[in-house]
Structure 1
């Protein structure tokens, strides 16, 4: 790598580091070097609470030094650690944290840029050293479906980091200097809860259909890996690092809990984080009190779970502390009382609500269970406390969706404008509505994992099916854009159906997709071309209808959710029947809390 490229990456890192607060800067002498990779640019990675949590948990161990690596800002920069500017070849343990399918290819790019053999099987089976490091994967995407990344990865940690890192690091302390790679991995698979060593498992494929029909473990290895869940915390996860370059500049984020009790049938978070957990109020305050005294912008994750008592406590705490509140979106049927008081006093300029389904019927199909009146009343209440800029999240391509559903969505937007306008006019304020319209992609461990991408149950099965589905989604987007064109101060953003098709391919994929990712990373080829050259099609993975008893590539992960339960929820969706939220004190439907 040329010195000019090295200097550029170093200069970029120095500038960004100077703007950060909370960076760990450790001396290397006598410490085990650990790299923590985020497969996207700095601004995205530093915004990830999960990534920051792992960075903090690793650096809390005094006998190691953990430094971060991000995807370089351009193709002309070398890959250097953020903290000290070292190369990846100086680290024995390479952790990566990944949340989104579209970042999968960047794992391959980072390993290649760091000179690490891309395939785990090509790494030396001798001692674990910087010349032959262990690649360890984690993050929410891996415990949905780790398989597309399995050939690159020596070890996955499936579950929540607080319950896994300390025992793993303790085992490394007693084995790294004395055992080979394969011996260490074998011990980890046996001794560490949530550990998944892909080399100890062999996928089984049907000779006729090509579909994965099972996974064979090595002798003495469990058939599946149970995800690790943390039942409680004494201090809620919170921002460790603040940066003006983050997606939400210098926003201090604290977790209220994990999971969601609602069980929307398209949403992985509502299932893979079961049972839903709301942290104790003292733990949340403990997380908030870790911030510097001059930090007043607060983001709360998990507000859809908080009960009225906790909202009142948090509202009082934040108001007394002179803090303003931020969040991703609000549940429309929870906007009342102390939350409204807090919203009105927080200096917010906009607020987001996620109806998701275009019509009231579709919201029952997806188990969102929000009525039109719920949404309209929420809009009025928000406008009444001075919030006139509204963002609405919708999905298209959901199962059973029709043109009538999309027409009802346009009607709803018109009614929302009518409800907001009187409040804005009375105060001389402009009311604005921003629509974020995204294509549905079936995700593992949800009731809709069985359903094809695009939402349509089509009779044709050929290599042009994905193209047909993408065209259909584009037509729906055009229909909505035309429908809002006459509405003043309403604008719409949407994702690209082609990109979401690839997301669905990866979400439902198996190990064979690793070679597609490798080809993309090495040659820069587009994903469709790389798939063709590997003899694979998007239809095979994304546009496929699964049956009740079919095997999924992601069945290697055990979330304790019964597949029969997910199938029944899928069928209830077709009947537009809703399911009550989780009540972990009495509910035993899905299997997570026992039978």
Structure 2
């Protein structure tokens, strides 16, 4: 494996082995700075050594560093980034015969730990940098550790200060290419009604530009590209200083995404000069009405202006992200997606369209909606979602078009909103999971359900979420 790893620690007799398991592909796992921080922190601890596991390296059953079987490890830390990762996590545990301590964390555990209760010994809710987790792990005393979820009790999510950054990191072929990863912020200042990020990573925190540039300087001899990581990097109050500073050092700069209302000629010129070839914009909806219902905060003029700047400065490609199954969605809204895509293509040569069904996530104003964007779920909604995607595909011939599987997004919805009773679905495996939703009677989680995830305290007022939902429904033209 072609990677630079300054954090590696050799195992010797007497050391406890900790497996850091990412039950998905290497390219995604190596792009996650949180995992790199855990790996680094454990390898600094006396008496412990940490090695990594990825689903596409030895099928997740042996470590990357030494090919040691998972069954030889004492502790396994799983990061569940996406709901469907739990299928692979469970499969890895069963196939490996692992019998040690099983701990899981990550966004899906922060979202709703209840579906994972039967799989793991401990579930950690929150961020790790400022917590006592590693000290308690060292003394095998996690039971009353902050952030550890106990069934039947409410757990407060742990927040970290971002006053430091991992100075050295593993550099491999990540989702951003071979790049230094700079997490410039966590959380989001926006209030998109469909998005869980604002709630589970509240409040929004930014790292200082000076700190980030110092880390970049220390890594100049190892890599010539920097990826700026945050839910909305261009909202950083020092975004301009960061981009210009990195460009002055000779780095090519790749933000994880760009807000269409935050781009100007100067910024896009520097990004292009530093090697940016693709710009990512997420309108989410084609019509102004639905973007307002989503509280997206960008309009048609922002998107067209940014696309025009991209074309002027020679950006080769724009990626546009949209959703279907939004509340109050009509055929005219789909036509607006088609029209907007065609307008953008007037500015740049290549346009990629990505379309996914809305997952009504816990901890968002849309948590009371059904899968399909209505107030109640009907089986016909699955067919309608497929028809909407097919309609867009037919009318966007000539574009690069990618669409998520409606069935897979239905499975995500069930797992994200479920309780312990979704374990048989996880146990049955990914291949037939959609069919098993109905066989097991779990399709109730595709409709509006009780907030089983209120066992996690993320510090927001649920009454305000309800008010936001009502605003969205009024804008979308739905009676409630």
TM-score normalised by the chain length of structure 1: 0.76
| 1:437 aligns with one of 355, 370, 375 | 355
Aligned with 1:456: secondary structure? coil
Matched, 1:195 2:148: yes
Distance 2:44 2:295 in 1: 41
1:220 corresponds in structure 2 to: none
Counterparts of residues 381-460 of structure 1 (less than 5 Å): 381-418=309-346, 420=347, 431-458=349-376
* Correspondence for 1:24: 8
Residue 162, structure 1, aligned to residue 66, structure 2: no
For residue 451 of structure 1, report the CA deviation from its aligned partner: 0.6
**Residues in 1 aligned to 2:215 and 2:114: alpha-carbon distance in whole angstroms:** 34
Distance apart, 1:370 and its partner CA: 1.3
CA distance change for structure 1 residues 78 and 266 in 2, over 3 Å: closer, same or farther?
closer
1:105 corresponds to which residue? 87
1:473, CA displacement in angstroms? 1.0
CA contact (8 A) 1:78 1:113 kept: no
Query: Structure 1 residue 484 and structure 2 residue 396: aligned?
Result: yes
Aligned to 1:493: 402
Give yes or no for the alignment of 1:540 onto 2:444. Answer: yes
Deviation at 1:512, TM superposition (A): 1.0
Task: Give me the whole-angstrom Cα distance separating, in 2, the residues matched to 1:391 and 1:315.
Answer: 21
How many residues align? The count is 476
- The residue that corresponds to 2:67 in the other structure is 85
> Who is 2:466 aligned against?
567
For 1:139, the equivalent position in structure 2 comes to: 106
Distance 1:22 1:109 in 2: 31
Q: Residues 505 and 417 of structure 1: is their aligned pair in 2 closer, same or farther, counting only changes over 3 Å?
A: same
CA contact (8 A) 1:260 1:305 kept: no
How far apart are residue 555 of structure 1 and its match?
1.2
8 A Cα contact 2:187 2:201, kept in partner:
yes
Q: CA distance change for structure 1 residues 68 and 303 in 2, over 3 Å: closer, same or farther?
A: closer
Match of 2:413 in 1: 504
Check the 8 A contact 1:38/1:71 in 2, yes or no: yes
**Is the 1:226–1:559 Cα contact (8 Å) retained in structure 2?**
yes
How far, CA to CA, are the matches of 1:306 and 1:390 in structure 2?
16
Q: In the alignment, what sits opposite 2:27? A: 43
Distance 1:576 1:134, change over 3 A: same
8 A Cα contact 1:352 1:390, kept in partner: yes
Work out which of the two has the higher radius of gyration on C-alpha atoms and give 1 or 2.
1
Counterpart in 1 of 2:453? 554
Deviation at 1:333, TM superposition (A): 0.3
- Sort the Cα spacing of 1:88 and 1:417 in 2 relative to 1 into closer, same or farther, 3 A: closer
The CA deviation at 1:20 is 4.3
Q: Distance in 1 between matches of 2:92 and 2:400?
A: 37
Question: Could you tell me whether the CA contact under 8 Å between 1:394 and 1:436 is conserved in 2?
Answer: yes
| Aligned counterparts of 1:374 and 1:247: Cα–Cα separation in 2 | 27
Deviation at 1:78, TM superposition (A): 7.9
Shift of 1:416: 2.2
SS of 1:30's equivalent in the other structure is: coil
- Note the C-alpha offset of 1:510: 1.0
SS at match of 1:394: strand
**1:256 touches 1:303 (CA, 8 Å); kept in 2?**
no
Aligned partners of 2:121 and 2:345: how far apart in 1? 53
Moved more, 328-337 or 256-265: 328-337
- What is the alpha-carbon distance in structure 1 between the residues aligned to residue 22 and residue 368 of structure 2? 30
**In the alignment, is the contact (CA less than 8 A) between 2:425 and 2:433 conserved in 1?**
yes
User: Are residue 171 (structure 1) and residue 136 (structure 2) matched?
Assistant: yes
Alignment partner for residue 34 of structure 1, among 11, 18, 21? 18
C-alpha contact (below 8 Å) 1:356/1:394 kept by paired residues: yes
Q: CA deviation at 1:170?
A: 2.4
| Structure 1: unaligned runs, 5 residues or longer | 1-15, 117-131, 177-183, 202-215, 217-222, 422-430, 578-595
Gaps of 5+ in 2: none
Matched residue SS, 1:395:
strand
**Structure 1 residues 540 and 239, CA gap change in structure 2 (3 angstroms):** farther
Q: Is 1:473 the counterpart of 2:374 in the alignment?
A: no
| Residue pair 2:407, 2:434 contacting (<8 A) in 1 also | no
How far, CA to CA, are the matches of 1:474 and 1:386 in structure 2? 35
Shift, 1:21, TM fit? 3.5
8 Å CA contact retained: 1:158, 1:194: yes
User: Residue 518 of structure 1 corresponds to which residue in structure 2?
Assistant: 427
Q: Is the 8 A contact 1:278 1:305 kept in 2?
A: no
* Contact 2:247–2:253 (8 Å) recurs in 1: no
Distance 2:56 2:399 in 1: 36
Could you tell me whether the CA contact under 8 Å between 1:432 and 1:490 is conserved in 2?
yes
CA contact (8 A) 2:9 2:43 kept: no
Q: Give the CA deviation at 1:290.
A: 4.2
